[in-house]
Amino acid sequence: MENSTELRYAKAKERVECIKSFYYNLTAYLIVIPLLGYLNYRTTSFPWIIFPAVGWGLGLIGHGMSAYGFNPLFGKEWEERKIQEFMNDKEF
């Protein structure tokens, strides 16, 4: 029983670390992108800020989805089905 509690604690701690990492990434995005936007505005007429903002933004969305356990393609139901499939497979 104690092993189960330790395992749950380790999983919870890992999830908290992932969420904390997401918030650090979000904070950096909210600081860096406006600074790059200001630099872009002051130096050139080409709106190159779009590329890092969209690229980093897509990565940030993925990070957030991962941190909060939302995955429309490979969610918990898919994981459970695959686990059962492998457990029932005699060659595995």
C-alpha to C-alpha distances, 80 to 8, 18, 23, 34, 70, nearest whole angstrom: 18, 22, 29, 42, 15
Compute and round to an integer the Cα radius of gyration of the chain.
20
pLDDT digits (tens, 9 = 90+) for 27-54: 999 999 999 999 999 999 999 999 999 9
> Which two structure tokens, joined as six digits, stand for 45?
């007429």
Q: Is 21 within 8 Å of 29 (Cβ atoms)? A: no
pLDDT digits (tens, 9 = 90+) for 51-71: 999 999 999 999 999 888 887
Which residues make Cβ contacts (< 8 Å) with residue 76, sequence separation at least 6?
Answer: 69
pTM over 0.85: no
SS3 percent helix, strand, coil of the chain, rounded to 5, is 80, 0, 20
DSSP secondary-structure letter at 71?
-
